[in-house]
Structure 1
Amino acid sequence: MLFGLLPLIKMIILIINGIAILSEDRFLARIGWAATQPEQVSFGGNTGDVSIKAKMVNLISATRLLTRIPLIGINTVVIIYELLLG
């Protein structure tokens, strides 16, 4: 079962790596997905009128912020696993 889940785990790690390295200045700003304008929604306010694009921008920026340090360790473990048992 582990051998069946390992490619899926690697794929998820690669997708998160791809999101984490997106440059806001070079790529996201060109397509209009930069998080330069803060949302005017207060804490606990009505978030029903927030667009899908704004939610995706928030998801990308949160992923970039929260996964940079853990990805270093995860990538190191995956690289060592691939070198030893690959």
Structure 2
Amino acid sequence: MGLWTIFEGFLLLANSLAILNEDRFLAPRRWSFSDLSAGQAKSLKAQLMGLIYATQYLRVPLIILNSICIFVKLLSG
């Protein structure tokens, strides 16, 4: 398992977090920002919610990284 495999794994994880829909998936499970109170801003749930929303805002860099990954796979395989 090399560095490239670890990079691909993190890229897949970021892709899975970026496609989560707040209205259909996160809000019914009380994982939306409106359900987060100020007192639990440092909890694990709040940090995971922050990670989910950060990946949703960084969709354009994810598209670029996915394109690079596909291009490298096409050249190497």
TM-score range, shorter chain: 0.7 to 0.9
Write 1 or 2 for the structure with the bigger share of helix: 2
Match status 1:16 vs 2:7: no
TM-score, length-normalised on structure 1?
Answer: 0.73
Alignment partner of 1:71 is 2:62: yes
CA RMSD of aligned residues (A): 2.1
Number of aligned residues? 76
Structure number, greater radius of gyration = 1
Task: Look up the equivalent residue of 1:85 and give its one-letter code.
Answer: S
Any residues of structure 2 matched to 1:27-66 within 5 Å, and which? Answer: 27-37=25-35, 40=38, 49-50=40-41, 51-65=43-57
Q: Which amino acid aligns with 1:79?
A: I
1:39 Cα deviation after fit: 5.0
**What is the TM-score of this pair, normalised by structure 2?**
0.80
**Where does structure 1 lack aligned partners over 5 or more consecutive residues?**
41-46
Unaligned runs of 5+ in 2: none
